[in-house]
């Protein structure tokens, strides 16, 4: 899927083209292309947001291949996602420049040396990310408030919604004369910043202080725990399961020769949204029946099913769903 190898192993443009061609051949044999699209869109979102894509041109070539096979509506949101990334790249310096102007006018620094980068994504194109209101540290709140001020000054009639479940942060972890830069997810950073003012915290208190759902908090804490020397947190008692009374603290044995460390990201268990796909299929089948019958006027049931297969290239319509839709349309008439 045009993913850039984390080991930084070089891959040539020719190899990417071969990969895209192979994916195209596999794609042509997939029956339920709408399920593929659901999974692909989420994978593409992660690649774009976390900068894991080989190149946007490679992604665009693959999307064009799907567009030729299934039509422009199939890839509309994928193309919108790439367009958002282009706009963000073009505007990436606007917010820092705006903040520098404010600093020059006020005569005092507003960022305290912290860099705050954002991605503005159109909700209509991207998969739905879990949205929640969290209690975050002043270091993060300051950047959010300033970016809201900047965005309102540019786009008065648009509304921003902050999404904490995607994105990364780089934290400076200082212990005496030793320091490391920790690259982690935004939610991992929100948890770690609590330990600026607390030596230890029970799980239940972490959940209450941040306002994070327990399951989500638990999965992020698990990603910060371990038995080696490169895990940032430790738990007492050290049992695998996390209970409300378990106490967390910064690891006393953490050590790494690397100056910049990427912490393990939490495991993600994302499945295609079956209910959403079923609704989309129902709408598509109804539209397909209307389109075919307007053109053909009179058809047998079997001929109608055969026609629908031709006008619905992204999935094979279910016979029962077709029957139910025909009865529903007859009732409407």
Q: What is the mean pLDDT of residues 222-237?
A: 81
Give, rounded to a whole angstrom, the gap between the first and last alpha carbons of the chain. Answer: 46
- The Cα–Cα gap between 185 and 288 comes to 43
Residue 108 pLDDT > 80, yes or no? no
Q: Which of 24-38, 76-90, 191-205 is predicted least confidently?
A: 24-38
**Dihedral sign, CA of 210, 128, 170, 10?**
positive
More confident of the two residues 272 and 101:
101
CA atoms within 13 A on the CB side of 331: 6
Do 185 and 169 form a contact (C-beta atoms < 8 A)?
Answer: yes
pLDDT in the model for residue 275:
67
242, 244, 245, 251 alpha-carbon torsion, rounded to 10°: 50
- Structure confidence at residue 193 as a pLDDT band (50, 70, 90): very high
The answer to whether 81 touches 44, Cβ cutoff 8 Å, is: yes
Q: Collect contacts of 249-252 with beta carbons under 8 A, ≥24 apart.
A: 249/195, 249/199, 249/200, 249/201, 250/195, 250/199
- Res 80: pLDDT: 95
Distance CA 307, CA 291 (A): 10
Residue 2 has pLDDT above 60, yes or no: no
User: For residue range 130-161, what is the model confidence (pLDDT) as tens digits?
Assistant: 778 899 988 888 888 889 888 988 888 888 88
Is residue 39 pLDDT above 70, yes or no? yes
Sign of the alpha-carbon dihedral angle for 206, 209, 215, 216 = negative
Residue 8 pLDDT class (50, 70, 90 cuts): very low
Q: Which residue has the higher pLDDT, 106 or 236?
A: 236
pLDDT class of 227 with cuts at 50, 70, 90? low
3-state secondary structure of 101: helix
Distance CA 54, CA 274 (A): 30
Which of the given ranges, 7-11, 106-110, 221-225, 254-258, has the highest pLDDT on average? 221-225
% pLDDT > 70, the chain: 91
Residue 120 has pLDDT above 80, yes or no: yes
Listed range (51-60, 108-117, 201-210, 302-311) with the worst mean pLDDT: 108-117
Confidence label for 3 from pLDDT (cuts 50, 70 and 90): very low
pLDDT digits 0-9 by tens, 41-99: 989 998 998 888 888 898 999 999 999 988 898 999 999 999 999 999 888 888 888 88
Give the model's pLDDT for residue 236. Answer: 92
pLDDT (0 to 100) of residue 6: 44
State which H helix or E strand residue 168 sits in. Answer: strand 168-175
Q: For the stretch 163-196, what's the b/e string if a residue is b when 16 or more beta carbons lie within 10 angstroms of its beta carbon?
A: bbebbbbebebeeeeeebebebbbbbbbbbbbbe
Residue-level pLDDT at 293: 87
pLDDT at 113: 66
Q: What is the mean pLDDT of the chain?
A: 85
pLDDT of residue 269: 56
Rounded-to-integer distance, Cα 84 and Cα 223, Å: 30
Do residues 118 and 93 touch, judged by C-beta distance below 8 A?
no
Q: What are the helix (H) ranges across the chain?
A: 13-29, 33-49, 56-70, 76-90, 94-106, 138-154, 186-192, 203-210, 214-224, 274-296, 301-311, 319-332
């Amino acid at each position: 899927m045009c993913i850039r190898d984390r080991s930084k192993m070089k891959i040539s443009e020719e190899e990417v083209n071969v990969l895209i061609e192979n994916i195209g051949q596999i794609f042509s044999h997939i029956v339920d292309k709408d399920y593929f699209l659901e999974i692909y869109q989420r994978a593409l979102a992660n690649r774009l947001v976390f900068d894991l894509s080989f190149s946007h041109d490679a992604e665009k070539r693959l999307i064009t291949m799907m567009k030729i096979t299934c039509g422009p509506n199939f890839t509309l949101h994928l193309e919108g996602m790439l367009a958002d990334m282009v706009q963000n790249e073009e505007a990436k310096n606007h917010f820092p420049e705006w903040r520098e102007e404010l600093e020059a006018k006020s005569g005092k620094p507003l960022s305290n040396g912290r860099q705050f980068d954002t991605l503005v994504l159109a909700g209509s194109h991207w998969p739905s990310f879990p949205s929640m209101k969290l209690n975050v540290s002043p270091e993060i709140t300051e950047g959010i408030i300033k970016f809201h001020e900047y965005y309102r000054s540019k786009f008065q009639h648009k509304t921003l919604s902050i999404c904490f479940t995607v994105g990364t942060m780089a934290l400076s972890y200082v212990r005496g004369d030793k320091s490391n830069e920790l690259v982690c997810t935004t939610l991992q950073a929100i948890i770690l910043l609590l330990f600026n003012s607390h030596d230890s915290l029970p799980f239940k208190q972490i959940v209450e202080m941040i306002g994070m759902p327990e399951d989500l908090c638990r999965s992020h804490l698990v990603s910060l725990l371990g038995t080696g020397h490169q895990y940032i947190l430790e738990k007492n008692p050290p049992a695998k399961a996390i209970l409300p009374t378990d106490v967390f603290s910064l690891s006393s044995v953490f050590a790494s020769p690397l100056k910049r460390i990427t912490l393990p990201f939490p495991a993600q268990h994302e499945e295609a949204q079956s209910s959403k796909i079923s609704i989309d299929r129902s709408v598509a089948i109804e539209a397909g029946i209307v389109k075919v019958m307007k053109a053909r006027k009179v058809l047998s049931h079997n001929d109608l099913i055969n026609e629908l297969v031709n006008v619905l290239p992204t999935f094979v319509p279910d016979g029962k769903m077709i029957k139910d839709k025909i009865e529903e349309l007859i009732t409407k008439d």
